[in-house]
Structure 1
């Protein structure tokens, strides 16, 4: 039975019925969708994996650890791939998706902290694509890069996933947490789209 039918059994949550297609779509995506998004999130600057990781946990709290394993495994796999992509074509790709100001800050972080910058970038909301590609661009030691990324990202996924799971065990809280997480996902997506258009606009103005 679709979780959304449970969501809409109260008047309070009925006003969010417009989220039906999105939540049902997430359910249909499942582990395959999470794995695919995890790979893409490392290789391209898109909203963080939590935008679908958390809703999926809320839809199946009893198996939250399987989503955790999924995210960790495919994140490491994508990090390996992203490192070598970064060595080859990293900088032009980053300039296309972001701006020089963001790249400058990330580069300073790398210059100052080295391997520690990877762990910091992996744990914080900084787009991980920038961290991965800069590691490749600067030819950072591959093993150290993978370990640092693992140390930074795994605690983030465990802590966040466990918290969402505990909240999701309460049916009442689960309803509203799911709604908030899906709305948050939409906000993130809208922000990244607008930011992308803004960056393109700035580059166009600078080239004139």
Structure 2
């Protein structure tokens, strides 16, 4: 009996790997960083699980392009990291150019409840000082990695600077997640006879908690500081 689709499947990395395979994986990485609506997609956990299933993904890819079994462990990892990195770099680039396109008009918008021109000037100053590091570290933070390249485009971060740190950040993110998934699975299976493939729900939950914790801590600590610094109304 076939499993019925539910909306929560969209947050499950195994859904994309089982039903979409390698090419859907590439699109998800692209969409999470290149499209506004991609912020909810499972980037970190998807790459980690892809590392666990790296051999299966590349084997299926080779079969589709007629190369049979002409692959090995290191070639699998190299191709997986290289192709996913390209998808991520292109995604960030699309996000950046989208921001460049809409950015100039935003500086003429009127201040609203959710929009203040001051935020744009603050973001511009931030990217001038820390833009490269922001683009790199944003890769490792869910939701933020979706909007970081768009904001960089809006505040007109230098194109060359963005491109360099875009590539550095993407390769570092993809490499660390794929390698962690692949070799952690092998090591734990060898040392403890514990198969991560049978406990992916727990692994994915752990990754989500680890990657979102810094964002939540920063968010709530920022609110507390704001309350403390606000003078009492007389």
TM-score by length of 1: 0.62
After superposition, what is the alpha-carbon deviation per residue over 1:37-59, rounded to whole angstroms, capped at 9, x for unaligned?
01110122224512322222222
Question: Counterparts in 2 of 1:121-136, with a 5 A limit?
Answer: 121-125=138-142, 127-136=144-153
Which of 137, 153, 170 is the matching residue for 2:170? 153
1:87 is the counterpart of 2:100:
yes
- Of residues 125-134 and 104-113 in structure 1, the stretch that sits farther from structure 2 once superposed is 104-113
Aligned CA distance change for structure 1 residues 109 and 181 (closer, same or farther; 3 Å): farther
1:38 is the counterpart of 2:29:
yes
Aligned CA distance change for structure 1 residues 167 and 152 (closer, same or farther; 3 Å): same
Match of 2:136 in 1: 119
CA contact (8 A) 1:122 1:152 kept: yes
In structure 2, the gaps of 5 or more residues are: 1-8, 56-72, 107-113, 211-234
Superposition deviation, residue 137 in structure 1: 0.9
CA contact (8 A) 1:119 1:152 kept: yes
Q: For 1:172 and 1:58, locate their aligned partners in 2 and report how far apart those are by CA, in whole Å.
A: 13
Superposition deviation, residue 119 in structure 1: 2.5
Aligned CA distance change for structure 1 residues 60 and 113 (closer, same or farther; 3 Å): closer
Give secondary structure in 2 for the equivalent of 1:85: helix
Match of 2:159 in 1: 142
RMSD (Å) for aligned C-alpha atoms: 3.5
Aligned structure 1 segments of 4 or more residues deviating by more than 4 angstroms: 103-106, 123-126, 182-188
Q: For 2:77 and 2:32, locate their aligned partners in 1 and report how far apart those are by CA, in whole Å.
A: 20
TM-score by length of 2: 0.56
Q: For 1:147 and 1:38, locate their aligned partners in 2 and report how far apart those are by CA, in whole Å.
A: 19
Q: Answer with 1 or 2: which has the greater Rg.
A: 2
Match of 2:61 in 1: none
Per chain length, whose mean CA-contact separation is higher, i.e. which structure has more relative contact order (CA < 8 Å, sep 6+)? 1
CA contact (8 A) 1:68 1:157 kept: yes
Aligned CA distance change for structure 1 residues 147 and 100 (closer, same or farther; 3 Å): same
1:76 is the counterpart of 2:82:
no
Aligned CA distance change for structure 1 residues 187 and 119 (closer, same or farther; 3 Å): closer
In structure 1, the gaps of 5 or more residues are: 1-18, 93-98, 189-208
CA contact (8 A) 1:82 1:132 kept: yes
Superposition deviation, residue 36 in structure 1: 0.9
After superposition, what is the alpha-carbon deviation per residue over 1:10-37, rounded to whole angstroms, capped at 9, x for unaligned?
xxxxxxxxx9xx6465223111111110
